[in-house]
Chain A
């Protein structure tokens, strides 16, 4: 076995960061747990609505907030726009001139009504504002603008004005932001618990290079290139080490320029491009961390700081969960929690399931910071109330523990919310929210956790490879990208080269992921989605990990998987057992760790997998994808190591079971029909217990139990929630 020297990931000194976070968390008065935020030991399950105070007449605030509360929401969130409050550089109006800008009084009103408060002061907020929340001077400042590979401006086509992407590596950007934070943080800090009801603060908004997700669009500004070199220096420490792994001949880190386009022809050339992708993750994490620290230094030191990653501009087109340039596990090592925003329609069930399952599988608090309510004008073919209801129930079904409805009050450039800016209530929408909030309260949803022992993992190294091979650049576009491609890497824009492997891994990894996803769903297995960036401790919580593995995998991930297996868990991988590391040098840690003895697993007489026993657990190797029967293959393999699944009479249905350790004889069960057809559902929960009673809690109707199966008619695009008693 040839072991190469170990590279320090720039995710940098995790232990030191973890220690810093832990130290920092000890002074927080709001504790972040999986099921909610805790104040004085009391759990707050956040059911929140976004209200934009500056877009509502001051005299309407009280009435509108009361009506939001009337729907059963227990918290209000709001953006706080620098663009709106700044009169001149460093001069602000917080209600002294225009009473609708009195953010302090708006928070007071929420507090007087007993509502919790989440503040979102940016600096970037979008909020459908002309300048995305920044004063115009910031956008026009060349020192703050992000740069394309050619050194030119990078523009996000948004409505009502296209705007330049800003550089979050720019020193001047942070200096200017400090002016804003100096103004707004003193107002917010006095509202932190226990003195007020402020329980969390969001740093920035949907930061993802201003939707320039395409890796060869930004940021090539001078400050970003400096940061990139610093990233490489920290990762490799010695230029000779980088040269060895890049097969290059640089004399210093300062000589290295980032890749402007993808040109690799062989696997040996890939690390240079893949590092650029990893750098883009680091860029976002580092910038958000720095902004969060700036807020902490100014006194926001008692409440959690969180961030919302963006929803895709074309949801449903991007394959698999959005990972790079986002890195939720890594960002949660710096911030207190991180979520993904969700805007979707009923036809996008799998998109919502995927994003929610990823947040549930990776985040320390599965929270949706922006959760569709109403529509933004430039959302093409917007859905209606039934879409909102379906998407809401889908997200709850898959385990989110908190959310903020964006927007709960409609206003300029936002339509279709349950209340409008004048306080007029739209009863159908109002009642829908009221009913869902009531149901969550009545069934004690917060006490339950989705039962799921299987984690389907995305392999971040393959996602980085995929992103690095994008062939053409195209900017973010809120209307429609000119070439019609999703902003995320996808089969229409990535290289098809095999780089010397048997297959184009960057393409085939998605085929495998989708086959696992569909196979598990089809066969009735409940799973969350995980990430190779997670710590071993988190992975150990799942009895089964399923991961796509090709020729290469870094030593650290190989070690994680082996450790998890040795602890008694099951790993399912394939098609290959990796023998190279992420630099495409020999790395046989996994191979060497596997025993020579293996058992063949057969399906219909054909060998479909090999079983290795390692420590207290097992590794199953599936060498070939049989797409037509992959569900059956997984079912057979899982039957060797795992024994819980639901039995569905129709594979198009989806089912989740939520359990409560304090109520062993009661479960919450969701059944989803994500199709346009009515389906008569017959569901066996497989819990080994007799079902005594099942009530569709929204309808208040007890349903029929036949042969220990839940029986109900599922209308098209419907998710139902049942409280199920067993013995």
Chain B
């Protein structure tokens, strides 16, 4: 999905920081209890931030049960528990790295890295939640990578841009993202909106933003504009398209322009709602 040399230009640093804060969760920033063991013998039992913890497990016999017990005994001290068996970690990192190919896109490489955790589910364990849901940098979109990829394939025509604008009041851009796709739906452009485009009210000025993107880059197929609070609701919802459709009907979200396939999806939802 990510092209081998995307253009990443004119990104507003404040918007970029806000975008990260809204969409990314870092496991490294969370409080964790780390246990490293070898055939059950515990070699490391430590809190990521050096806090005192209850060490109620003396040997790893069942990593799933043990992770749960460690978490429950230190519930107020940790966001999750990570139990790693040395041999499993060694095999895991070897396997995901060795399958590298220059052609593979970054997102596919990372997806493979996370997907492979399932194969080592006995050796790399987290609680609560699975390692693939806990570790590394997580997307806070409420959907999986494959769902996101499928949505792009389904709703975004090739050679178009998608514009996301999230606002903190009538004229203040909280964050924005302009993503340009090429003929193969690879991401070739990543940038943010120019703040000076929004002068009166984003509900009116969003059109200027779309025009600006089309003038500066290329045709916009989907423009999605909303307030920060509303975006939080979208992120929390399980059925994104349906949520967007409902919010658009209430004019909480403006989707303009809208791609034919997304329009079709909304029409279907409209028809379904009266059936």
On A, residues with C-beta under 8 Å from B are: 130, 136, 139-140, 148-150, 152-155, 157, 159-162, 164, 217, 261, 314, 317, 374-375, 377, 380-382, 384, 411-413, 415-416, 420-421, 471-475, 477, 479-484, 491-493, 495-496
Contacts and interface: CB of A to CB of B under 8 A. Distances in A.
Given A161-B4, A164-B100, 14 more contacts: A130-B4, A136-B102, A150-B98, A152-B97, A161-B106, A162-B100, A261-B86, A380-B24, A381-B21, A412-B8, A415-B8, A479-B136, A481-B136, A483-B84
21 contacts: A130-B4, A150-B90, A157-B109, A162-B100, A261-B90, A374-B13, A377-B11, A377-B16, A380-B137, A384-B17, A412-B7, A412-B9, A472-B36, A474-B89, A475-B93, A479-B137, A480-B136, A484-B27, A491-B46, A492-B44, A492-B46
Given A153-B98, A155-B100, A472 B86 contact: yes
Nearest to B8: A413
Nearest to A384: B13
B82 interface: yes
B115 to A, nearest CB: 12
A160 B10 contact: no
Contacts of A480: 26-28, 136-137
B109 to A, nearest CB: 5
A482 B2 CA distance: 20
B113 interface: yes
A496 to B, nearest CB: 6
A314 B86 contact: no
Contact of A150 (B34, B94, B102): B94
A154 B97 contact: yes
A375 to B, nearest CB: 6
- Interface SS majority for chain A: loop
B6 interface: yes
A64 B21 CA distance: 33
Chain A CB within 10 Å — which of B7, B12, B34, B190 has the most?
B34
Given A152-B98, A164-B100, A314-B28, A479 B110 contact: yes
A484 B136 contact: yes
A217 B89 CA distance: 12
B141 to A, nearest CB: 16
A149 B11 CA distance: 41
B136 A473 contact: no
A152 B97 CA distance: 8
Contacts of A421: 9
Contacts of B44: 471, 492-493, 495-496
Q: Which 6 A-B pairs have the closest CB atoms?
A: A152-B98, A480-B137, A416-B13, A155-B97, A472-B89, A484-B28
B97 A153 contact: yes
Nearest to A374: B13
A482 B21 contact: no
B135 A482 contact: yes
Contacts of A148: 93-94, 97-98
Nearest to B37: A471
A149 B32 CA distance: 28
Contacts of A416: 13
Contacts of B43: 471, 495-496
Contacts, number: 141
B90 A140 contact: no
Contacts of B68: none
Contacts of A482: 93, 113-114, 135-136
A552 B51 CA distance: 30
Nearest to A385: B13
B102 A140 contact: yes
Contacts of A136: 102
B189 to A, nearest CB: 10
Contacts of B232: none
B36 A471 contact: yes
A161 B13 contact: no
B3 interface: yes
B153 interface: no
Interface in B17-46: 17, 20-21, 24, 26-28, 30, 32, 34, 36, 43-44, 46
B147 interface: no
Interface in B130-161: 135-137
Given A162-B106, A482-B135, A152 B26 contact: no
B168 interface: no
Contacts of B98: 148, 150, 152-153
A512 B132 CA distance: 37
Contacts of A481: 28, 136
Contact of B102 (A161, A380, A411, A491): A161
Contacts of A139: 102
Contacts of B14: 384
A563 to B, nearest CB: 38
B5 interface: yes
Contacts of A382: 13, 16-17, 20
A153 B100 contact: yes
Contacts of A472: 36, 84, 86, 89-90
Contact of A411 (B9, B97, B137): B9
Interface string B259-274: 0000000000000000
Nearest to B9: A412
Nearest to B82: A483
A94 B140 CA distance: 45
B100 A159 contact: no
B6 A160 contact: yes
Given A153-B100, A472-B86, A375 B28 contact: no
Given A472-B89, A480-B136, A493-B36, A159 B94 contact: no
A483 B97 contact: no
Q: Which interface residue of B3, B4, B14, B106 has the most chain A CB atoms within 10 A?
A: B106
B199 interface: no
A318 B13 CA distance: 26
A159 B106 CA distance: 7
Given A413-B8, A471-B36, A160 B90 contact: no
Contact of B93 (A415, A474, A492): A474
A481 B93 CA distance: 11
Nearest to A414: B8
A492 B51 CA distance: 12
A634 B90 CA distance: 43
B48 interface: yes
A111 B271 CA distance: 70
B58 to A, nearest CB: 14
Contact of B32 (A154, A381, A474, A484): A484
A473 B16 contact: no
Given A416-B13, A479-B136, A492 B100 contact: no
